[in-house]
Structure 1
């Protein structure tokens, strides 16, 4: 679908169609001071001149509906065309099931077009029938697992119509196919957050699930981010969950130096400091060492950030030492 339609052998310009003789085309008004003239094809100019005419006249007819289809083919991202098409569908009482079939074809040709997905959503709202949406979005995500518009539409359909039943299986298959699929991890969080809930049982289940995926690929930012998101819902926090802290320390002990692991341990140290629950593993001194390692070796691209964090923990370390001295002096 593009502006390159002049090669169509069977195409007849609207200006040459007898049934359109009663319409005066409306040329595009680009103003008196043009900076850049957009070179449209003759077909594009013809279609949109007639579209502007029916829009100006507020014509509600089958021929106007057909015209919008030609306009969409030439520019599927045109908001005004889609909005007028919806006005026509309502005015003409058009079969919305056939419109669903049509828009599915447009989506397959233009899967990252916001306007077409929005049109689809309006149709489903009018029909109150989401039965095709999971399959449609699933097909789109098979082609591109990170298609934002498909994910957005899928989440809307699931949340609006309560279609949660098989979604965790769908997400698990995507993560199994590509454990780094951040969109799939995000969808998993969406399902738990909006449907299953963050009971302690669900939190621990999600932690175990994520740790297994991290074991498979330790340098996977998506899984580490998900783990941190899950632990927000754990009343014990990052530093209080023994399963997580032991897992991290075991990785570190076995020479894993993934920047995401080191950053996670730093977060554990930071939380322990704020809670006043530091220990031999999780304290300001350890955090300083890890920040230095990240800034100089394992995450150089963010060295300025790690230097900043290092200064923060140096201050915390000094406070820890001062507090220790105060306690020792009191004991004496």
Structure 2
């Protein structure tokens, strides 16, 4: 779009606000940058024009249709400007605008600027004002189809389903996304969010079903960190934690099959540290070394640190066993001495 003033022969050409007769009563306000700005931004003439009038309108607290149209132009130039969005919402209320029409506008803004926090916040406010989430899940399904890992879309979806209790088919929705992409960490996170807020994690039987779901997903891609993290999150809510028999058995069988996923090895190390039984401590120490040197070299210092914890456990167990042996020997000697005295 040209930044020069238009004439009647070219109606689509941009017309500067300073050249519009209906704005002659407004004096634009230039941005105050001080007498000697260190790094002045090279705004375009169109940007300076629009925002000069935008600042004037806000200062004058003007409530009008033309002010609303001005916010549209301002947000087209900078859709992340919080102040303009806030003023637009003020105008929508004061002018008693039909908020359903505003959804057409915000739909287009989100399509054009889907990673912009302000456009999603504006949509949230509209839903709140109308107290009507009926369009949201379908809209979000489409948005997430375009970008399954859009943080803002997921955040909005969580707000909608929690605020309006729309959890009904959310587990099925996340399952479909996970089937499409096992590595969609956002879908795994959403599944945990739903499980946490619907009582699934308070019910051991339902949690075990989720554990089975996670383990089946792990078998499809053992290097996928998302499914391992989901499994760990579930185990926090089980009485035995990482020592849940089915999970320990699952990990041992996977290891015995020759799998050396760094996530599996990390799980085995943590299981050994949590288990009072010492039978796997030496293996855990070896796994720490393998993770540090081969399978997870980027976190070498971390695994060296964990190895120290394993060594302390081994040392502590050894000391305890030694004291136990000494006590048993002492008791045996006392019994022999008592027999002799008799």
Do these two structures clear the TM 0.5 threshold for a shared fold by scoring above it?
A: yes
2:3–2:16 CA contact under 8 A, matched in 1: no
**RCO (CA 8 Å, sep 6+): is it higher in 1 or 2?**
1
Q: Please provide the CA RMSD for this pair.
A: 1.3
Q: 8 Å contact 2:278–2:314 — kept in the other structure?
A: no
Per the TM alignment, residue 150 of structure 1 is displaced from its structure 2 partner at its CA by: 0.5
Q: Normalising by the residue count of structure 1, what TM-score does the alignment of the two structures yield? A: 0.94
For residue 268 of structure 2, what is the aligned residue in structure 1? 265
Higher Cα radius of gyration: 2
What is the deviation of 1:279?
4.5
Counterpart position of 1:324: 321
Whether the 8 Å CA contact 2:2–2:13 is kept in 1: the answer is: no
Aligned residues: 322
Given that 2:185 and 2:226 are in contact with CA atoms closer than 8 Å, whether structure 1 keeps it comes out as yes
SS in structure 2 of the partner of residue 292 of structure 1: helix
1:199-231 C-alpha deviation (Å, 9 max, x unpaired):
011110000000000010011100001000000
Matches within 5 A, 1:152-301: 152-198=155-201, 199-239=203-243, 241-272=244-275, 277-281=276-280, 284-301=281-298
Kindly provide the CA deviation profile for residues 150-173 of structure 1, in whole angstroms up to 9, marking residues without a partner as x: 000000000000111111111001
Which residue matches 1:65? 68
Partner deviation per Cα, 1:34-89 (whole Å, 9 max, x = no partner): 11111111111111111011111000000000000000000000000000000001
The answer to whether the 8 Å contact 1:5/1:43 transfers is no
* 194-203 or 89-98, which deviates more: 194-203
How far apart are the structure 1 equivalents of 2:311 and 2:292?
15
Q: Which runs of 4+ in 1 moved over 4 A?
A: none
For 2:271 and 2:301, the matched residues in 1 are separated by 21
Aligned-partner Cα distance in 1 for 2:278–2:2: 70
Mean Cα deviation higher: 298-307 or 8-17: 8-17
1:139-158 residue pairs with structure 2 within 5 A? 139-158=142-161
CA contact (8 A) 1:5 1:41 kept: no
* Runs (5+) with no aligned partner, structure 2: 7-11, 330-342
Gap runs ≥5 in structure 1: none
